[in-house]
Every structure is written in structure tokens, then in C-alpha cells.
Structure 1
Amino acid sequence: MGVVGSTAVVIAAKNASATAAYAVSSALRQSLAGEVIFVDDGSRDDTAAVAASADDGSGRLKILRLEQNVGPSRARNIAIESSTSPFICILDADDYMAPDRLERLFLAGGDDWDFLADDLFFTADYRGGNILDRLLPTATKLPLQLSLDAFIAGNISRKDRVRRELGFLKPVMRREFLQTYALRYDERLRLGEDLILYASALRSNARFKLVAGCGYFAVEHPTSLSGSHRTQDIAELYRALTELDAALGHNGYAPSLERLLVSTRNNRDFRILLDAKREHGLVGALGAISKSLASFPYMAREVAEAKLSAIKRKLSASP
């Protein structure tokens, strides 16, 4: 059966009253969940009360309520620090797990891992039967040990697979490994915090094992693709990636990192361009372009594609 042990399921939530109870219930249904730590991260609705309503009376649920929003990284770190189980698993507040997910994950994983992740099922509802997609491409051969370079490459966005980056994985993590290498979520990040944590672990030679899907369901809402992240969030992720690049020392350990850096820089600069145009018009846009010439080819393509799409929509709407 391999390694089996008590797991702390960590749920950080803000204004998640519509989904908190379902997430908590799915965590408490895990036979291997020794603790369920729910952090209400400065919600302005009744998220904490809704989460508490899902308590099964087993004494495993702990609810921590933060008066001010601190972001997912700090909220998760607080939960990890307040837990004691030898294994830690993150569950997003609008996702859920099948009742036997953790048990199946441990069974599939054996004992040769520090991070153990399964493929994710994407669904539009909470019934579990309507699977829209999976995170990993169908050609992926599982199980496999994930290298740092393969993980970095798997986080480079593709327009044909939106929101399918490997940073969305929700592994079980060994507390001992996190403690040995002083790994925690980067609290400056509100975007890509998982990506940076996992990459940092792989840089420290973590054995990151992937297995077939065991029952983690990521619910895609109508607003999932809204691009709600702030420009500052993307800028902070770029900063964290440059720090990772510097720590690796350009020694060829992760050649895909340069591509991810360029992709993230392009995204950041394009968002800066849009912000400048919205706030200061054409003059502001030209000023933004002059400060980010390296990203100009990308920005020009994005603008051209947006205009072409607008023309096509207009033509298709014409009688």
C-alpha cells in the first residue's frame, strides 16, 4: 500500500459562502484527513459560518478567521503552521474531492515521493459526473517523476489549453520535506504561488510524482476565465520567477525557465499597456510601449488578434 498517514487538508477562502460547505464536506469525507483547516481570509460574507455548518462532529475541523484579507499564500501558511499532520494537501474553496481521493492517491503513489499529485478533473458542477477535461494531456504516461524543467515547461500558457498549467496541481506534500528546506508559500504572491512553491521544492530535489486522477474536481465557473488578476499580481509573479532563475544560476538545470520568463514578461507588459491606454489614452499607451520594447512583438500580435476577432464578430452579427 505504500506510505499512508494522517493528512491536513488546507482550505483558504474569501467570500466563498456559495461553495465553502461543499469543499469542507468533501474534505471531511476523506478517511485519511486527520485535520481540515479552513481559513476565512477576510471575507465580507458568511463564509466562515457556512464552512462551520458542514462540520461532521468528528473534531477534525478547525476554522480560522482573519479580519483582514492577506491573500492565499499567507492564509495557507497560517493553516500549515496551525496543523500537525505529517502530510498536507491544499483544496481550493470552490473545488471538491471524491470521498476516497486521498486513500486512492496514497495507494497509487507508493512511497518514493515528497510531493504526490494526481491528474485533475475539470467539471462545471458539483455532481462529479460531468467531466469537461483533465489537466494533463491525454498522451501523458503515468505514473512519472516530474523534473524541474518538465514542470516549468508545463506552466507555459497555451491558447488551445487555457488554465491547464501544472501549477494547478494539488499534491499531497510531506511536512518533513517542507520543514527541511524551509519551504512556504511566497506571501508576496497572489498569482502563481503554487508554481513557485513546487518549483522551489523541485530545485531542492523533491521527488514529485504524478499519478492518474484519483478524484480531485476543479469546478470551472462562468467567471473562471475572466482574467481578474491585477497587473501587480503578474508583475510579482515575474519577480518571483526572476529570483528562481537567479537561484538556479543559469546552469541549464531548467532551460524552459527562460521561455516562461519571456511569456510572463510579455503578459505583464501587455497588461501595463492596457492599463496605460485606459487611464491616459493613446499617449499613455505609446509611453508604455516605449518602456517595454522587448515585448512589443507580442503586444502587437495581441492587439491585431483582438481587432480581427472584433471584425469577425461584427460580420457574423450582420444580417
Structure 2
Amino acid sequence: MTGERPVVSVITANYNGARHLPDAIASVLGQSLRALELIVVDDASSDASAALVAEAAALDTRVRLIVQARNAGPGAARNRALAEARGRWIAIFDSDDLMEPDRLARLLRRAESDKADIVADNLMAFEDGAPQSIRPFLPEPLFQAPGWVTLADVIDSSRMYARRPGLGYLKPLVRAAAWRAAGVRYDETLRIGEDYDVLLRLLAKGLRLRLEPAGLYRYRRHPASISHVLRRDHLEAMLRADAAFDTDVPDLPADARRAQAARRRSLERALAYDEVIQRLKRRDLAGGISRALGAPAIWPLLTMPVTARIKRLAARPQPQPQTA
């Protein structure tokens, strides 16, 4: 690493991501914006992740490897990277994803021309092993033109079991000075939803979020991704994080307060739904029915497994009629 300050620090938390790390690193180092650094914090991986990053660092001084002594979760890894970042801007990037070559340059132009503290584009999702399957991950109407996104918008989009994923999935570019002045850190107790929580807190501190219409971030979907595995302890941790946010920001605007109450109800509904499903899996039919009857708000959720099965059956190739 030279003494020249990078324009953008790309921070990446990694845990056992060796399979996708080389492509992810290459997509960062291939950016048209050359004045960057890539900080990969390896969260005590048991695979070859650290060796792969070290190899990349030996070939390009813009790559920096930090190895955690113990696995502490993505929030802790990102906080470590934030403490080490030297760039004027911070870009959040996951170790199994990709980005288009001009992504950082375009986001930077958008942020500076529109005087935004945070700028983000849509995630273009693709299935692992099928890059041609790409499609917008977040609701397309939001990205038809550049636009400002409020705190209430982010909260309102992030209710559990909404029809589309929420804005908490965004991988933003954030002005480093504004982030540090806000004093916001990742919640290290969250193993999922930590990006949403930190974005919420940045907006509550007055940072302004601008959306860039072009979808330049490539979001890889695969079974090992933690964002697709939602457990009861994740839901409970998110409820605690939301309660902590309410305590830390007691003077929320009315629209954000209403959205926060709706999100809390959705998390509580998700917990009740999970309890019913777990009882049914244990073959406690009476207990499951009793819990479901006591929580009518979850009744629409109970149709989801049936609906999903019908959709899978409908998608199967139908047998062709035999001809004589």
C-alpha cells in the first residue's frame, strides 16, 4: 500500500468464502476507479480464505488482509475494517458477490453531484452457477430515476414476510467523514440484519441516502448465504436491536415511528409463526393448533408452505400424452 490516501475503502467481512473470494476480489480490483483499497477481514475461517486474500495482497498492494482471532460475526468484522479504512468513502461489499467495473466510479459521481452522504444502487441477483439468471433484487420502481430515501422508507420496506426484500439489503457507498461523525458502529450481536441496523442509525443521525438508477451490484444467491437462513435467535436479536434503536432515538419522526411499530409487529408475528412450525415439526399437533388459534395474525403465513408446494408442482414439466 502506498502512502497516497485511497478515494474508496471497500470493506468486506468473510467467513469460509474461499469458493467465491477470487472472483469477488477480482471484481473490486478491476474497477475503473483505481484509487481504492480492499480490506478483507477474515472471521476465523476454517477454509483457504485467508491464504487466498494473502496471495491477492502479494500481487496488489491495494488489498489488505486482517484475520480475526476468533469468529465474532459479520458486524465485528465490519467494525474492524471500518477502524482500518483510510478512504474518503466506504463501500460495503460481501465476499461472495461481484460488481460491474464502473460501479464505484458511477456511485461516487452520483454522491458528489447530488451532495449525498450515502448512495446505493439496486442489487442484481443471480443464482450461484447461473450468472445468466440475473434480475433486480429490490423493487424496480424505486430505481427508475435518482431519488432520496428516508428513514421511514427503509423501515417500512423491511417488515418480515413482505412481498419484496427490503432496502436493508442495500450495499451502499458512505462518506467516511459523515459516518465517523455520526459515531455509528455495527451491532456485533446481530448475525443477520446488521446492514439494515447500521443504515437505520446512519439515517437517524441525519445522513442522506440517494438511489442510483443503474443496477451495478451483483448479488449471488446460494444456500450457504446466511441472509437466506432465518432462525428464531436471529428474529429475537433483531427485535432486541430494534428496541435498542427506539431507546437510542426516542424522537423519531411520526412516519418512521409508525413504520417501526409495523416492523415490530411483523417480527413478533414471525416469532409466533416459527413457534407453530416448530411444534408441528415435533408432531405436537395440539400445541401447534393452540398456538395458531391464539395468534390469528399469523394465519395467512401458515398458507405459505402449501402455496410454495403448489408453485413447485406447477413448475414441474408435465408428462406429454402418448401418441399411438
Q: 1:34 Cα deviation (Å)?
A: 2.3
Q: Say whether the 8 Å CA contact 1:155–1:165 is kept in structure 2.
A: yes
d(CA) in 1 for partners of 2:97 and 2:292?
39
SS in 2 for 1:119: strand
d(CA) in 1 for partners of 2:306 and 2:51?
46
What does the per-residue CA deviation read over 1:73-120, in whole Å, with 9 as the maximum and x for residues that have no partner? 010001111222121111111101112210111123315111111122
Q: Say whether the 8 Å CA contact 2:6–2:86 is kept in structure 1.
A: no
SS in 2 for 1:248: coil
Q: 1:306 Cα deviation (Å)?
A: 3.0
Aligned to 1:257: 260
Aligned to 1:123: 126
SS in 1 for 2:171: coil
What does the per-residue CA deviation read over 1:249-289, in whole Å, with 9 as the maximum and x for residues that have no partner? 46514022221111122112322343455458347647866
Aligned to 2:97: 95
d(CA) in 1 for partners of 2:122 and 2:307?
36
Long gaps (5+) in structure 2: 320-324
Change in Cα spacing, 1:309 to 1:116, as seen in structure 2 (3 Å) is closer
Identity %: 28
d(CA) in 2 for partners of 1:95 and 1:315?
31
| TM-score normalized by the length of structure 1 | 0.84
Aligned to 1:156: 159
What does the per-residue CA deviation read over 1:110-133, in whole Å, with 9 as the maximum and x for residues that have no partner? 151111111221123588655222
Q: Say whether the 8 Å CA contact 1:8–1:33 is kept in structure 2.
A: no
Q: Which amino acid is 2:66 matched to?
A: L
Aligned to 2:219: 218
d(CA) in 2 for partners of 1:313 and 1:11?
35
d(CA) in 2 for partners of 1:127 and 1:310?
23
What does the per-residue CA deviation read over 1:223-250, in whole Å, with 9 as the maximum and x for residues that have no partner? 6599423211111111111232342346
d(CA) in 1 for partners of 2:209 and 2:310?
46
RMSD of equivalent CA atoms: 3.2
Change in Cα spacing, 1:315 to 1:88, as seen in structure 2 (3 Å) is closer
Change in Cα spacing, 1:128 to 1:276, as seen in structure 2 (3 Å) is closer
What does the per-residue CA deviation read over 1:194-235, in whole Å, with 9 as the maximum and x for residues that have no partner? 111111111111111111125211112256599423211111
Q: Say whether the 8 Å CA contact 1:11–1:93 is kept in structure 2.
A: yes
Q: Which amino acid is 2:70 matched to?
A: Q
Aligned to 1:106: 108
Q: Which amino acid is 2:109 matched to?
A: L
Q: 1:155 Cα deviation (Å)?
A: 1.7
Q: Say whether the 8 Å CA contact 1:12–1:39 is kept in structure 2.
A: yes
Q: Say whether the 8 Å CA contact 1:120–1:213 is kept in structure 2.
A: no
d(CA) in 2 for partners of 1:141 and 1:44?
42
Aligned to 1:200: 201
Q: 1:312 Cα deviation (Å)?
A: 8.6
Q: 1:189 Cα deviation (Å)?
A: 0.8
Aligned to 1:70: 72
Aligned to 1:46: 48
| TM-score normalized by the length of structure 2 | 0.83
Does 2:300 align with 1:281? Answer: no
2:82 to 80, 83, 99: 80
Change in Cα spacing, 1:279 to 1:207, as seen in structure 2 (3 Å) is same
SS in 2 for 1:122: strand
SS in 1 for 2:16: coil
d(CA) in 1 for partners of 2:310 and 2:172?
43
> Which deviates further from its counterpart, 209-218 or 272-281?
272-281
> Which deviates further from its counterpart, 226-235 or 189-198?
226-235
